[in-house]
Amino acid sequence: MKRVIGYYMLLLVLSAACSQTEVNQKNEKETNVSLIQNHSFSNIDEVHTTHLHLDLNVDFQNKRLKGVARHHLNNPGFQEVKFDIKSLKINKVTLGTETKESITNHEIKGEIDPILGQALHVKIEPDTKYVNIYYETTEDSDALDWLDSSLTSSKNKPFLYTQGQAILTRTWIPIQDAPSNRITYSADLTVPNDLMAVMSATNPQNKNKQGKYHFEMQQPIPCYLIALAVGDLVYGKLSENTGVYCEPELLASSMYEFVDLPDMMNAAEKLYGRYAWEQYDLLILPYSFPFGGMENPRLTFANPTLLAGDRSLVSVIAHELAHSWSGNLVTNKTWNDFWLNEGFTVYFENRIMEEIIGKKGADNLALVEFFELEEEMERIASSTHPEDGHLFLDLNKRNPDDGMTDVAYVKGAFFLKTIESVVGRGKMDNFLEDYFNHFKFTSVSTEDFIRYLNKELLEKYNFSFNYDEWIYGKGIPENCLRIKSNSFQHMEEMAYRFAKGENIFLIHNESKNKEKAFKRTQYSVQEWLTFIRNLPEDLTFAQMALLDDELSFTTWTNAEIQFEWFLKAISTNYETAYPALKSFLEKVGRRKFILPLYAKMYKYDHSKKNAVDWFLLFKSNYHAVSSNSIEQALEL
């Protein structure tokens, strides 16, 4: 429908008979349709960028990027192009190529929308192909995290990285910030000459003395995947086309932790076809990085909390690698379709992990997530937005980040797992490989997916499936695939017996057979997570201390374990763990961990004051994505 209106509009604009007011009214309408669907002020249905060239200076002194964004447009004859901007200072806008530029009028229209920012309207000619926006970032450019050297692992060089998803790219680049438009990009960056720059593009493997770097991304990507990092980086090669960037101190541990990356790549390609982006590297960021991982093409950004020392948290890497197909190759058309990115990716991630650690381990990973989904569903059902239990969302007037719940991730993945259990793995795998191939380098809506599912799987083989209930209904449907895990059941029982007052350690220690004495290493990280989660919220101090004596949870430096343990320490007011909790909050900025920890501290009288005091103390260590969410939770 939108495309039809766009074409109709073009005819109207070109026709001399049409009045200006008529056009303006249509324009209004068009903008609103577009806005609702993609959280963008841009007019991509009329004029859209096809290639972006960035020429930027990275200024650590002033914590500012400054330069020009050169947009190569596809313009069928329009006289205005609209970009998204937020917290940017626009210095001038020109038309034409570098050798022949002329200044044009631009106007920043409307009030600043706290979520979307503003629209930058640029006057162009019907034959304009090049628009150059000279600009600089500001201290409110939320995509950017400028870290003082004290927050890096070397502690002697500063660091910068960007986070674009969902709609933060507009805070560091003036751009048409909608996931349905794809662009290629190139960049020339100047950085301090003791640092290296890397992007979601072709990357250097060594520093250069001039601090000048050139980048190319030749496959079209949605602009939330444009990413940049600058720091004291080294490169370690893992295979012909995989490797790790990190600060020098982390190289050995990163190479150890992610040694399975080439195997993951093989497993992924075997499942759903050739990797489309040539190179796949990881970049280990400082601890402030607000996510576990971010699937920037050719260069996944990863949180150093994944460096557990025992490869126990590498499923996050399988997840980001899987996005090279689901998300980066086939992209959600709007943020309402976010489950198409994440649900498919969690499904695919689990298939990769099955190849790496086997079916039982992969099932346990999926089951940990399923338990999280059940909890999240309860929270959502009693929230002000119970409809967030749907896979397909309505995020109109809301922050697209609100869609980042276990519904998109885990309900999405279990939807696919359940289909698989009905049609069989062979048919499912063929279907998914065809889906990625059919839609590669395009954006897909939920409706597009349903049409394809019907045509290529359900109707083709005569299966009936309640996909409407899954996609447009609130809960977890009756037919959802259930996973059973004997080892998890055992952990649940142990937690239950311990809570009842039974000393589970004593029983084991009394056993004659020394070999079988109860040890922490006897169980996996996921099994211990299940144990901790199943402990009640009101254990006594003595019980918490006994667990700590036997299992040393407080000093176990695995971020997932620390997180679950600290949640219990808060509800039970187990003060022994508070210094460790405080150091964790000082160092780690990953939102999945710190938001629930602060929120829980805030909930209990005994820890409420600490929540606010510590947050104010550590806020400057966090990326805006995390600190903005925590500010809301703490009602600041």
Measured from the CB of residue 457, what is the shortest distance to ligand BES in angstroms? 25
CB neighbourhood size of 537 (10 A): 11
- Contact window for ligand BES (CB under 6 A) among 67-75, 239-247, 288-296, 379-387: 288-296
Residue 152's SS3 state is coil
- One character per residue 557-596, x = contact with ligand BES (rule: CB under 6 A): -----------------------------------x----
Q: Residues near 251 by Cβ (< 8 Å), separated by ≥ 6?
A: 234, 236, 244
Measured from the CB of residue 268, what is the shortest distance to Zn ion in angstroms? 14
Measured from the CB of residue 406, what is the shortest distance to Zn ion in angstroms? 12
The Cα 356–Cα 359 span in angstroms is 9
Of the residues 232, 295, 406, 560, which one makes contact with ligand BES according to CB under 6 A: 295
- Contact window for ligand BES (CB under 6 A) among 118-126, 184-192, 290-298, 372-380: 290-298
Residues 343-372 close enough to bind Zn ion by CB under 5 A = 345
DSSP bridge pairs for 419: none
- Contact window for Zn ion (CB under 5 A) among 20-28, 141-149, 342-350, 522-530: 342-350
Is the Cβ of residue 342 or residue 564 nearer to Zn ion in the bound state? 342
Of the residues 135, 146, 291, 415, which one makes contact with ligand BES according to CB under 6 A: 291
Is the Cβ of residue 347 or residue 498 nearer to ligand BES in the bound state? 347
Residue 293 binds: one of ligand BES, Zn ion, none (C-beta under 5 to 8 A by kind):
ligand BES
The Cα 595–Cα 593 span in angstroms is 6
Question: Distance from CA of residue 625 to its chain's centroid?
Answer: 11
292 binds ligand BES (CB under 6 A): yes
Residue found by looking up tokens 């989660």 in the block: 533
Amino acid (1-letter code) at residue 243: G
Residue 165 binds: one of Zn ion, ligand BES, none (C-beta under 5 to 8 A by kind):
ligand BES
Query: Could you give the C-alpha distances from 483 to 313, 347, 364, in angstroms and in order?
Result: 20, 14, 8
Query: Could you give the C-alpha distances from 277 to 238, 320, 321, 325, 441, in angstroms and in order?
Result: 17, 13, 11, 10, 11
Q: Identify which of 277, 276, 240, 278 has the alpha carbon closest to the alpha carbon of residue 261.
A: 240
- Give the number of residues in contact with ligand BES, rule: CB under 6 A: 16
121 binds ligand BES (CB under 6 A): no
Residue 562 binds: one of ligand BES, Zn ion, none (C-beta under 5 to 8 A by kind):
none
Is the Cβ of residue 118 or residue 324 nearer to Zn ion in the bound state? 324
Query: Could you give the C-alpha distances from 26 to 10, 153, 177, 397, 552, in angstroms and in order?
Result: 11, 54, 22, 21, 66
What burial class does residue 508 get, using C-beta atoms within 10 Å of its C-beta: 0-12 exposed, 13-18 middle, 19+ buried?
A: middle
User: Which token pair is 290?
Assistant: 């607000």
The Cα 571–Cα 581 span in angstroms is 13
Residue 380 binds: one of ligand BES, Zn ion, none (C-beta under 5 to 8 A by kind):
none
293 binds ligand BES (CB under 6 A): yes
Report which DSSP code applies to 292: S
294 binds ligand BES (CB under 6 A): yes
The Cα 409–Cα 414 span in angstroms is 9
Measured from the CB of residue 633, what is the shortest distance to Zn ion in angstroms? 22
Is the Cβ of residue 128 or residue 303 nearer to ligand BES in the bound state? 303
Is the Cβ of residue 46 or residue 177 nearer to ligand BES in the bound state? 177
Is the Cβ of residue 177 or residue 401 nearer to ligand BES in the bound state? 401
Measured from the CB of residue 410, what is the shortest distance to ligand BES in angstroms? 9
The Cα 478–Cα 392 span in angstroms is 19
- Give the number of residues in contact with Zn ion, rule: CB under 5 A: 2
Is the Cβ of residue 373 or residue 494 nearer to Zn ion in the bound state? 373
70 binds ligand BES (CB under 6 A): no
601 binds ligand BES (CB under 6 A): no
- Contact window for ligand BES (CB under 6 A) among 278-286, 312-320, 419-427, 444-452: 312-320
Residue 619 binds: one of Zn ion, ligand BES, none (C-beta under 5 to 8 A by kind):
none
Backbone angles phi, psi at 113, to 5 degrees: -80, 125
Q: Quick check: 488 and 527 in contact, CB under 8 A?
A: yes
- Order of strands across the sheet that contains 80-85: 80-85, 117-123, 106-113
68 binds ligand BES (CB under 6 A): no
Residue 409 binds: one of Zn ion, ligand BES, none (C-beta under 5 to 8 A by kind):
ligand BES
Helices 338-357 and 261-272: crossing angle, nearest 10°? Answer: 120
Is the Cβ of residue 346 or residue 547 nearer to ligand BES in the bound state? 346
- One character per residue 392-411, x = contact with ligand BES (rule: CB under 6 A): ---------x--x----x--
Residue 572's SS3 state is coil
The Cα 308–Cα 557 span in angstroms is 7
Residue found by looking up tokens 């950017």 in the block: 144
Residue 268 binds: one of ligand BES, Zn ion, none (C-beta under 5 to 8 A by kind):
none
Measured from the CB of residue 78, what is the shortest distance to ligand BES in angstroms? 31
- Contact window for ligand BES (CB under 6 A) among 128-136, 171-179, 289-297, 581-589: 289-297
Of the residues 157, 323, 411, 623, which one makes contact with ligand BES according to CB under 6 A: 323
Task: List alpha helices for 552-634, DSSP H.
Answer: 559-571, 578-587, 591-603, 605-618, 624-633
The Cα 403–Cα 394 span in angstroms is 9
Of the residues 30, 46, 59, 320, which one makes contact with ligand BES according to CB under 6 A: 320
Chain positions contacting Zn ion, by CB under 5 A: 342, 345
Chain positions contacting ligand BES, by CB under 6 A: 165-166, 291-295, 316, 319-320, 323, 342, 401, 404, 409, 592
